[in-house]
Amino acid sequence: MTVTVIGAGLAGCEAAWQLAQRGIDVTLCEMKPLKRTPAHTSGDFAELCCSNSLRGAGLENAVGLLKEELRRFGSLILRCADRTAVEAGGALAVDRQGFSALVTEQVRSHPRIRVRAEEVTALPEGEVIVATGPLTSEPMAEAIQALIGPGHDLHFFDAAAPLVSFESVDMDSAFFASRYDKGTPDYINCPLSEEEYRAFHAELTQAQEAEVHGFEDQQVFEGCMPVEVMARRGVDTLRYGPLKPRGLRDPRTGREPYAVVQLRKDNAQGSVYNLVGFQTHLKFPEQKRVFSMIPALREAAFLRYGVMHRNTYLDSPRLLNRYYQLKSEPRVSFAGQMTGVEGYVESAASGFLAGVETARRLLGLQPADFPRETAIGALGLYISDETVRDFQPMNINFGLIPPLDHRVKGKRNKNAELSARSLEIVETMRETVLAGMPEEEPI
């Protein structure tokens, strides 16, 4: 039995790996390098099109818990992320190119995975996992639409942030620090005075946007809101969002600045940084003009400008079960952001569960019951919850996980106990979930 996995993003690579590790042959179809979307620049698998951060690393964060669960269940994506990590304070960020190259090498070298470089425009017969991502091509989107029928949303819009070279940042106008001195001081902080901020805000709200067919502000998912759209919501919106100064002290003044733009390392060498929270679809010359108003970026060399692209996702509560299978045709599963999970780690988690459960079904085993108390289970149960009427993409969060049966003082302490409860459950499941898999070799 061979399973076809369509798409070699984070979800597709994770799904293919989990199937192959359980003795199932996989044909992994990827249209790169023959064809690319507007957001893709590399021919490697698992390309990170937006940020290079996999977000919080600690167990007081729901995404930190999700990462730890995946580690304990042998996730390829987490192994490669840990191996290519760069300093990012309390977050797990990776060397963008190094991470994708390592995932590609691991997948291509697996004896049970056959890679086919081609664009798939119709759903094949047999067992299929569709992981074509938020940038699903038009022919495949049409094929999916034909399969699921009319009446279900298939798109919203997303944006990516610009990259600048470190050597072009004016460090006389910036400083290294992490918010509240948490972790190591890995972020470059670019302070703005009130006068500088207000001038920047005024130009940002009036800057010319690139044409994006069908784009409207309300179609953008909140987690990837373009910075100019956010700015139009009010003069102080950015100061309570990506430009918030809380927990940062300018060593030159000893005080919190009026506003702060943060830059995060984008590669292991520290030669490239991205503008945190600066997803945008402004025209390229406008990005250069407006973002150069930030004092530390007056002479910045932009290595990549921000881009806007269409994202595709399903009306999953009506279409999928908790294992990411299509209810009307269980031979077809979906994985990744097209299921309505939002974020790199969440995409990997959906690919993990889709791969595991497809393999277990083909091997005649019962599904592994990931309960709602686990992050993996909570995510699958959210995207398949038919009571969710206005379905929107969702990051993992502790609101999806049942509360404790006792009171705990302090949010961080409560979250830590929620994570401890989950990991106790995970330990009881490991033998079942990992049954028949080979020992993981170091990479």
The residue among 310, 337, 359 that closes a domain is 310
Q: Do residues 324 and 418 share a domain?
A: yes
SS3 239: helix
Question: How large is the average pLDDT for residues 18-36?
Answer: 90
Question: How large is the average pLDDT for residues 142-148?
Answer: 90
Q: Residue 224 pLDDT more than 80?
A: no
- Give the per-residue pLDDT at 71: 98
9 is in an annotated binding site: yes
Question: How large is the average pLDDT for residues 398-427?
Answer: 93
- Give the per-residue pLDDT at 181: 82
Instruction: Please answer whether residues 201 and 207 qualify as being in contact, where contact means their C-beta atoms are separated by less than 8 angstroms.
Output: no
443 in a structural domain: no
Question: How large is the average pLDDT for residues 395-399?
Answer: 87
Q: Do residues 266 and 370 share a domain?
A: no
Q: Residue 378 pLDDT more than 70?
A: yes
12 is in an annotated binding site: yes
Question: How large is the average pLDDT for residues 21-33?
Answer: 93
Which among 106, 23, 30, 14 has a CA at the least distance from the CA of 353?
Answer: 14
pLDDT category, 226, cuts 50, 70, 90? confident
Going by the DSSP 8-state scheme, the letter that residue 387 receives in this structure is: T
Which among 12, 92, 13, 8 has a CA at the least distance from the CA of 56?
Answer: 92
Q: Tell me: the pLDDT tens digits for 87-104?
A: 988 899 999 999 999 999
Q: Do residues 357 and 283 share a domain?
A: no
pLDDT category, 267, cuts 50, 70, 90? confident
pLDDT category, 216, cuts 50, 70, 90? very low
Least reliable range by pLDDT among 28-37, 276-285, 287-296, 365-374: 28-37
- Give the per-residue pLDDT at 220: 52
Tokens describing residue 255: 């005080």
Q: Do residues 165 and 120 share a domain?
A: no
CATH code at position 213 = 2.40.30.260
The whole domain housing 328 covers 2-155+312-433
pLDDT category, 215, cuts 50, 70, 90? very low
Q: Do residues 212 and 295 share a domain?
A: yes
pLDDT category, 212, cuts 50, 70, 90? low
Report the alpha-carbon distance of residue 177 to residue 190 in Å, rounded. Answer: 10
The residue among 285, 310, 335 that closes a domain is 310
Q: Token match 């995932």: residue?
A: 103
pLDDT category, 33, cuts 50, 70, 90? confident
- Measured distance between the N- and C-terminal CA atoms of the chain, rounded to whole angstroms: 28
10 is in an annotated binding site: yes
Report the alpha-carbon distance of residue 285 to residue 209 in Å, rounded. Answer: 10
Q: Residue 311 pLDDT more than 80?
A: no
* Domain count across the chain: 2
Q: Do residues 302 and 316 share a domain?
A: no
Q: Residue 250 pLDDT more than 60?
A: yes
Instruction: Please answer whether residues 401 and 422 qualify as being in contact, where contact means their C-beta atoms are separated by less than 8 angstroms.
Output: yes
* Mean pLDDT estimate for the chain: 90
pTM: 0.72
Q: Do residues 362 and 380 share a domain?
A: yes
Pairs from 242-245 (Cβ < 8 Å, separation ≥ 24): 242/276, 242/277, 242/278, 243/192, 243/197, 243/277, 245/191
Integer CA distances (angstroms), 406 to 311, 415, 419, 422, in order: 41, 13, 15, 15
380 is in an annotated binding site: no
Q: How many residues does the chain have?
A: 443
- Give the per-residue pLDDT at 272: 82
**Count of helices and strands (H, E) across the chain:** 12, 16
Question: How large is the average pLDDT for residues 10-24?
Answer: 97
- Give the per-residue pLDDT at 383: 93
Report the alpha-carbon distance of residue 132 to residue 122 in Å, rounded. Answer: 12
- Give the per-residue pLDDT at 370: 97
Q: Do residues 138 and 211 share a domain?
A: no
Q: Residue 32 pLDDT more than 50?
A: yes
Dump strand ranges (E) for 271-405: 272-275, 302-304, 307-311, 332-334
Q: Name which residue leads in pLDDT, 369 or 40.
A: 369
438 in a structural domain: no
- Give the per-residue pLDDT at 157: 58
- Give the per-residue pLDDT at 118: 92
102 in a structural domain: yes
213 in a structural domain: yes
Q: Residue 324 pLDDT more than 90?
A: yes
Query: At a CB cut-off of 8 Å and minimum separation 6, what does 408 contact?
Result: 414, 417
Q: Percent of the chain scored above 70 by pLDDT? A: 91
* Dihedrals phi, psi of 74, to nearest 5 degrees: 80, 40
- Indicate the residue type of 133: G
Report the alpha-carbon distance of residue 349 to residue 377 in Å, rounded. Answer: 10
Q: Residue 172 pLDDT more than 90?
A: yes
Report the alpha-carbon distance of residue 393 to residue 337 in Å, rounded. Answer: 8
Q: Do residues 9 and 145 share a domain?
A: yes
